[in-house]
Structures are given as structure tokens and as C-alpha cells.
Amino acid sequence: MATSPATNGNGNGARATGPRCVALVGPFQSGKTTLLEAILARTGAIPRQGGVEAGNTVGDASKEARHHKMSVELTVATTTFMGDAYTFLDSPGSVEFVHDMRAVLPAVDAAVVVCELDEKKIPQLQLILRELEDRKIPRILFVNKIDKGEAGVHDVLKLLQPASRTKLILRQIPTFKGDIISGFVDLALERAFVYKEHAASEIVPLEGDAADLEKTARFSMLETLADHDDELMEQLLEDIQPPRDKVFDDLRSELREGFVCPVLMGTAARANGVLRLLKALRHESPGIADTAKRLGVKAGNDAVAYVLKTLNTAHGGKMSVVRMLAGQAGDGTTFLTEDDEAGRVAGVFKLVGQTTEKRGPAALGETVAFAKLDKAKTGDTLTAGKQAHPALAKIAPYPPVLAIAISAKERKDDVKLGLALAKLVEEDPSITIVHNPETHEVVLWGQGEMHLRVATERLSDRFGVAIERRTPSVGYRETIRKGIVQRGRHKKQSGGHGQYGDVVLDIKPMPRSSGFSFEDKITGGVVPRNYIPSVEEGVIDALKHGPLGFPVVDLHVALVDGSYHTVDSSDMAFRTAGRIGIVEGLPQCQPVLLEPIHLVEIFCPTDATAKINALMSGRRGQILGFDTREGWDGWDVVRAKMPEAEIGDLIVEVRSATAGAGTFTFKFDHMAELTGRTADQIIAARRAAE
Ligand SMILES: Nc1nc2c(ncn2[C@@H]2O[C@H](COP(=O)(O)OP(=O)(O)OP(=O)(O)O)[C@@H](O)[C@H]2O)c(=O)[nH]1
Ligand SMILES: [Mg+2]
């Protein structure tokens, strides 16, 4: 079966052509941004390869990324390789910025998973591979940093296979000069190469030990391929050498079908192994036809595009980075989202990191930035037709796990802060903003410490609002343990009109979560009916701030008696009387602090479960039990009830106990009485803050 190169990527037998879109993903710091740089240099998009340490890469060009020497958002870069356009989406590896990776996945033809031969990074790799497996994204593993000479290089699959549910196939084996890796053998081509720094590898004769190792490794590659190809299986059993084209056809079709995940290797920092990777993408990865089919793009004449990222550029404009999934679109095209108008395109741009270049209309398969689609959001499916296209993918961000309270450093920036926050969330929907009406706090919820730090840096660097940050308040309440009947009298005689209100309140504790109720038990009109609502208002007002400093809940107040004055009584006076009754009564009712307790579920690799249990107990958690995580080999879920105050920075410790892979969810469960030293400290802190 010879391949014919000139098809549109429909058939599995033929190489896809046309523009590609490829995500670079992988665990934290594995070398994705460096690999992008190598690819751009190798394909001539940039004159020479920069480095992350030197701070001169195309990716990570924002001030925040350079400062922290890590990717904190997506970098989009389009280049040309052997006549086809390739857009690479360099995604941050940190779990805190994972939403930028997850949101682009629907748009890509394939992902290159950049990883290291480091056992500690296997759980993170597993998380990423699961996401790709679940979304049926064809993927190639690129084992990077092989210049570090890690022991695992002799048995790459043994180390990496546990992270992948899809069978891995080794496509290359390293060759050595002394202890140092000097090149590789390509098992499909059966050719040996030596690496050249920042240049194409050079073919060398395949001989000696390398030739023997090649035979064994190639056989095991073919065996794996034969699991899905009976003809190949027969050839192997009968010791017939399969034709090279057949091997390539199988590699291509089994990658696209999701039967296998090929493993290549190299050193991004020296551009070693990069050309082979590009060739694998060119010959084996699917193209737009398969991707449109995978997503279920409806056939028709209308342009369809998926928004994979939203940017607010320095010169003030909004840009929607899209992949064209059907038709073409350019300046002036009006788009609909699934449920609204998206706007009209005013400028089409090619992106190479932060460099934008104005260009003509975008053709099928291309990844470009459209300017001024005011209402388009990341994740939207756009269509230029009259009828909206159903959403092709909706990727909800993970629930946030860490919060800070923020405010503008200067009062005059309050409005600016509001606008900046809206832009921040538009670019990064994994940030949530909550206004706490009780404390008047603006609370920024995010995915971790670094995520929130970068968010605040962006507010000042990009949007020009300096802010202050604080630990957000915990939702403490207080209640009473015993009841009392208390008089509240307000009497003032200061010339002219006086003020007179007099009430008797029967205050009683109520069971947890009954809130507050008020009852009118007046007989004989001792408090005229029209003043009673004012008494209730006064009571409610006083309950906002109990004797311990917190809102008071779970009590019943009955108005049982009182008196009035025909001239001096007023709504105001009865309101004050109601308030006085509470303020004077509650301290005698044994007030007690209530703290919110949440139900927490922690997901962690099994080898970290004991550590997590200890961590939870150490934070006043009540462990309810642990289980294996359903559908997740080698993972557990630990359940516990835990005070809100202890959840505050829990994620920081969970991550450190699980090499970054652990996570948790929480939801409010109940309010619990809190006494003793901890309670005293909370009350004292509250007093000090007032
Ligand atoms: N020895 C060696 N170091 C490398 C190689 N590639 C990258 N590095 C180094 O690894 C570190 C991380 O590289 P990046 O390219 O920023 O990795 P990344 O995967 O983009 O990181 P995040 O996006 O933050 O997850 C940097 O210090 C690089 O210089 C390589 O091939 N060999
Ligand atoms: Mg990076």
C-alpha cells in the first residue's frame, strides 16, 4: 500500500496535508517552551534559538513569565514546515495554569507531550495523558532532556507506560559515545543518526551493538503495532520483514485511531530530535479533516471556528485566537456564538508569540487571531452562518482552591480595578471573583499560590492597578447557649419632642441552621401594631454584630411586652429599643462561636495517602475514610470534614505531599461550635481588627 501524499487527510492510509494545529503539553518544566523555540528556529520562523534561562524565548514573553521562569499562559506560534503551516500551542505545565491547556485541546489535531525520565513527574504526566485520552486527542510523547543522562533512558517504556492507558511504542533508541547520548536509531526507518547541535542529525552506519539493540527494539515496536493488524502479526510470526511503507501506514493509522502513542526523544535545548519530531507530525498526525470529524463539526458552507484563547493585547485590543474548523473567514465576517452574537472581525493576525502580523482571510485548518470579536469567549463555537452551530466542546475550569481578598491600593482605582478584573477573567476563566456582601471584600479565587500571584501581578503590570492583598475572612458566626427575657428601653427627653420605646424580648437558642425568627406576642396593644416591624428591624440590626463580633444565628426572639408614649414614641425609638434589648441581652446568653465546616475530598496518588491522612488530622480534620478513586489506577480519594479556616491554604500542602498532582474539592457541610484557645484567638483577632 503506497501512500499518496495529495489527499486531504481523510483516509488513514494517507498523510494529512494543510495547516495543522498542535498542542505542546506536559508536566511542569519539562521543556515545552524550549522545544517551541527549537521548532521555530529549526523551521526558520526565528533566526536563532533563544533560551528560557536567558529570557529571550518567543514563548513566556510576558513580564510575569520571564520573572518566574515558567509558563503562566498559552503561547501561540505559527510557522511553516515543508510547505505546510503549523501552529504550536505551548501550554503551561504547572497544574495551576492547566486551564489554558485544557481549553485549547478541542482545536488541535494532535498533542506533543513533552516529558522527562523522572519518576517524580509520572503522576503529573498521567494526569495530562488522561485528559488527552478522554478527549481522544492523538498524542506523541517527546522524552526531553536526554542530555541529562538519566538512568531511565535504558528502559524508557518501563518508566513511562504506567502513566498511559494507551500502549506506548518506542520509535527511537539512544546511541552512546561513552556515557553520553550521541544520537539515536530510528526504529521505523532503521537508520542511525548522530545529533548535531542546532542542525539536522547526520546519518551514520547502523552497526555493532546498536544494530543488535535495534533488532530487538524494532521487533517489540512491530509486535505492538501487530495487535491491531493481523497481516503484520502473520508476517512477524513467519519471520517475514514487513515492507517499510506498511510499517509507516500502521504507525500513522494506529496513532490516529488512538491505539498507540509513539515515543520520540531528544534535547530541546540543542534542537536534537526536533526534526524527527516534526517529520512524525507531518507524516503521521491527523489534519483538520479528522479533527472536524472528531468534534462533530456539521457539514455546510458556513465558516465554523473554535475560540481557544482570548487575549487583551498591550495596544488595548481584544483578540480571539481561533482554529478554523470549516470554511474560511476574514475581515468583516460576522460571527455568532452558540447563543449570542460574537461580533464582526476587524483584523486577522498571524501570531508568533507576542509578534502579531496582519494577514488575509483565514482558510480551513488555520489558527489565527481575530480582532474585536467583542462578545466571543474562550471555548465558544463560532459560525458565520445565520444559524448558530451547537457548542463543539465546553471545558469548565476546575473549581478554584485558593482565595485572596484584594482591594485597590488607592481608592481612586476602584472602578479601574473592576474593569481590570473583568479582563483578567476573560483571559483566564479559571479565576473566579466573588464579592462578599457581608465583609465588602472582593475575593479572588484561583488554582494555587502562583496562579493568584500572577493574577495580581497582571493587574498591576498589564492593567495598571496596584492592589493590596489579604487573607479572606472566614464565615464565622455566633450563637447563644441559653435564653433570657430582656427589657430594652429607649427614653430621651431633650426639650421639644422626646423619644420613647420600650420592649421586652424573650430570646431563646434554636437548633443549628435554623437561622433567625421573630415572633410578635403582644397582647392588649401595649406596643402598638405599627411599631412592631421597627422592633424587628432593630433586633435584626443588632444581630449583625453579636457580643463576640460576628453575625448571630440560630435564635428565636419573641416580643412579649413593652410600653409606649402617645407623643414621644416613633418607629425610630422602637427600633432603638429593639436593638438595645439584644445588645444588652446577648452577653448574658452564653454566646459561643460557630465555624463553618466543609466536606473535603482529596484526590491523591496512593503512595501519598498516608501523608494526606496525617495532613488532614493535623488541620483539625475529621477523617471519614478513604477509597480507591474510581477509574483511576493507583489513586485514592480521602474524605474528611474540615473547618473552613484550615482549608484556606490546604492546597499548598496537598500539592507538596503529592508532587503537585493532588487536588481537592470542598463544599459547605455545617456550622459547628468552637470553644477554647482557638476560639479565643479568633475573637481576639476580630476585636483587634475593629
Ligand atoms: N538539560 C536540558 N535542560 C533543558 C532542556 N530543555 C529545557 N531545559 C531546561 O528546563 C527548564 C524548563 O524549560 P522550559 O522550556 O521552560 O520548560 P516548560 O515545559 O516550558 O516549563 P513550563 O511551561 O513552566 O511547564 C529550563 O531551565 C530549560 O533551560 C533540555 O533539552 N536539556
Ligand atoms: Mg513553558
Q: Is 573 in the pocket of ligand 1 (CB under 6 A)?
A: no
State the pLDDT at residue 494: 73
- State the DSSP code for 321: E
Q: Is 29 in the pocket of ligand 1 (CB under 6 A)?
A: yes
Which residue's CA is the closest to the ligand 1 atom numbered 1?
Answer: 145
Kindly identify the ligand whose nearest atom is closest to the C-alpha of 660.
1
Angle of helix 571-585 relative to helix 532-543, nearest 10 degrees, comes to 40
Given a contact cutoff of 8 angstroms between Cβ atoms, the answer to whether 551 and 438 are in contact is yes
Q: How remote is the CA of residue 396 from the centroid of ligand 2, in Å?
A: 22
Q: How remote is the CA of residue 205 from the centroid of ligand 1, in Å?
A: 32
Query: pTM of the entire structure?
Result: 0.90
Report the candidate in 640, 595, 594 with the shortest Cα–Cα distance to residue 619.
Answer: 640
Q: What are phi and psi of 503, to 5 degrees?
A: -135, 155
Cα–Cα distance measured from residue 40 to residue 158, given in angstroms and rounded to the nearest whole number: 32
Q: Is 579 in the pocket of ligand 1 (CB under 6 A)?
A: no
Which residue's CA is the closest to the ligand 1 atom numbered 21?
Answer: 29
Given the C-alpha cell 452562518, which residue does it identify? Answer: 385
Q: In what order do the strands lie in the sheet with 180-186?
A: 172-177, 180-186, 191-196, 199-204
Q: How remote is the CA of residue 143 from the centroid of ligand 1, in Å?
A: 12
Q: First vs last Cα of the chain: how many Å apart?
A: 81
Does residue 396 sit in helix, strand or coil? Answer: coil
Given a contact cutoff of 8 angstroms between Cβ atoms, the answer to whether 597 and 641 are in contact is yes
Given a contact cutoff of 8 angstroms between Cβ atoms, the answer to whether 39 and 88 are in contact is yes
**Which spans in 379-448 are helix H?**
414-427
Q: How remote is the CA of residue 133 from the centroid of ligand 2, in Å?
A: 22
Query: Strands 84-90 and 20-25, how do they pair?
Result: parallel
Q: Is 36 exposed, middle or buried (0-12, 13-18, 19+ CB in 10 A)?
A: buried
Q: Is 170 exposed, middle or buried (0-12, 13-18, 19+ CB in 10 A)?
A: buried
Q: Is 70 in the pocket of ligand 1 (CB under 6 A)?
A: yes
Report the candidate in 400, 401, 398 with the shortest Cα–Cα distance to residue 649.
Answer: 401
Dihedral sign, CA of 323, 329, 332, 338?
negative
Atom of ligand 1 nearest to the CA of 94: 25
**Which spans in 521-647 are helix H?**
532-543, 571-585, 609-618, 644-647
Cα–Cα distance measured from residue 402 to residue 651, given in angstroms and rounded to the nearest whole number: 7
Beta bridge partners of 446: 402
Torsion over CA of 447, 449, 452 and 456, rounded to 10 degrees? -170
Q: How remote is the CA of residue 555 from the centroid of ligand 2, in Å?
A: 55
Which residue's CA is the closest to the ligand 1 atom numbered 24?
Answer: 70
Q: Is 30 in the pocket of ligand 1 (CB under 6 A)?
A: yes
Q: For residue 423, what is the enclosing H or E element?
A: helix 414-427
Atom of ligand 1 nearest to the CA of 91: 23
Does residue 230 sit in helix, strand or coil? Answer: helix
Beta bridge partners of 479: 592
Query: Strands 516-520 and 555-563, how do they pair?
Result: parallel
Cα–Cα distance measured from residue 25 to residue 71, given in angstroms and rounded to the nearest whole number: 11
Q: How remote is the CA of residue 97 from the centroid of ligand 1, in Å?
A: 17
Q: Is 150 in the pocket of ligand 1 (CB under 6 A)?
A: no
Atom of ligand 1 nearest to the CA of 37: 15
Cα–Cα distance measured from residue 121 to residue 26, given in angstroms and rounded to the nearest whole number: 10
Torsion over CA of 355, 359, 361 and 365, rounded to 10 degrees? -40
Q: Identify which of 33, 56, 57, 277 to mutate to test ligand 1's pocket (most ligand atoms within 8 A of the CB).
A: 33
Q: Is 267 in the pocket of ligand 1 (CB under 6 A)?
A: yes
Q: How far is CA 630 from the centre of its chain?
A: 22
Cell of 155: 528502559
Dihedral sign, CA of 115, 116, 122, 124?
negative
Q: Is 53 in the pocket of ligand 1 (CB under 6 A)?
A: yes
Cα–Cα distance measured from residue 633 to residue 635, given in angstroms and rounded to the nearest whole number: 6
Q: How remote is the CA of residue 206 from the centroid of ligand 1, in Å?
A: 31
Cell of 616: 488532614
Q: How remote is the CA of residue 57 from the centroid of ligand 2, in Å?
A: 10
Q: Is 479 in the pocket of ligand 1 (CB under 6 A)?
A: no
Given a contact cutoff of 8 angstroms between Cβ atoms, the answer to whether 449 and 399 are in contact is no
State the pLDDT at residue 351: 96
Q: How remote is the CA of residue 69 from the centroid of ligand 2, in Å?
A: 8
Report the candidate in 448, 568, 419, 554 with the shortest Cα–Cα distance to residue 502.
Answer: 568
CA angle, 99 then 100 then 106, to 5°: 90
What string of DSSP letters covers 247-270?
HHHHHHHHHHHTSEEEEEE-BGGG
Which residue's CA is the closest to the ligand 1 atom numbered 32?
Answer: 145
Q: Identify which of 25, 29, 146, 147 to mutate to test ligand 1's pocket (most ligand atoms within 8 A of the CB).
A: 29
What string of DSSP letters covers 614-655?
HHHHHTT-EEEEEEEPTT-TTEEEEEEEEEHHHHTTHHHHHH
Q: How remote is the CA of residue 90 from the centroid of ligand 2, in Å?
A: 6
Q: How far is CA 305 from the centre of its chain?
A: 22
Report the candidate in 432, 556, 535, 405 with the shortest Cα–Cα distance to residue 484.
Answer: 556
Which positions of the chain have pLDDT values less than 70? Answer: 1-13, 314, 316, 495
**Which spans in 431-523 are helix H?**
449-461
Cα–Cα distance measured from residue 59 to residue 65, given in angstroms and rounded to the nearest whole number: 9
Q: Is 71 in the pocket of ligand 1 (CB under 6 A)?
A: yes
Q: How remote is the CA of residue 32 from the centroid of ligand 1, in Å?
A: 7
Atom of ligand 1 nearest to the CA of 148: 1
Ion ligand 2, residues whose Cβ is below 5 A away: 32-33, 71
Dihedral sign, CA of 57, 61, 66, 71?
negative
Q: Is 545 exposed, middle or buried (0-12, 13-18, 19+ CB in 10 A)?
A: middle
Quickly count: other Cβ atoms within 10 Å of residue 297's Cβ.
22
Does residue 366 sit in helix, strand or coil? Answer: coil
Q: Is 272 in the pocket of ligand 1 (CB under 6 A)?
A: no
State the pLDDT at residue 88: 98
Q: Is 121 in the pocket of ligand 1 (CB under 6 A)?
A: no
Q: Is 310 in the pocket of ligand 1 (CB under 6 A)?
A: no
Q: How remote is the CA of residue 116 from the centroid of ligand 1, in Å?
A: 10
Q: Is 31 in the pocket of ligand 1 (CB under 6 A)?
A: yes
Cα dist. 378→53, 74, 307, 650, 688 in Å?
Answer: 31, 12, 5, 29, 44
Which residue's CA is the closest to the ligand 1 atom numbered 12?
Answer: 29
Q: For residue 598, what is the enclosing H or E element?
A: strand 591-605
Cell of 503: 420592649
Q: How remote is the CA of residue 51 from the centroid of ligand 1, in Å?
A: 9
Atom of ligand 1 nearest to the CA of 266: 31
Q: Is 145 in the pocket of ligand 1 (CB under 6 A)?
A: yes
Q: Is 147 in the pocket of ligand 1 (CB under 6 A)?
A: yes
Q: How remote is the CA of residue 281 from the centroid of ligand 2, in Å?
A: 20
Cα dist. 518→132, 488, 505, 512, 552 in Å?
Answer: 56, 16, 10, 16, 13
Report the candidate in 678, 677, 650, 675 with the shortest Cα–Cα distance to residue 664.
Answer: 650
Dihedral sign, CA of 672, 677, 680, 681?
negative
Cell of 583: 445588645
Cα–Cα distance measured from residue 322 to residue 343, given in angstroms and rounded to the nearest whole number: 14
Q: How remote is the CA of residue 29 from the centroid of ligand 2, in Å?
A: 6
Q: Is 287 in the pocket of ligand 1 (CB under 6 A)?
A: no
Q: Is 195 in the pocket of ligand 1 (CB under 6 A)?
A: no
Atom of ligand 1 nearest to the CA of 35: 15
Q: Is 93 in the pocket of ligand 1 (CB under 6 A)?
A: yes
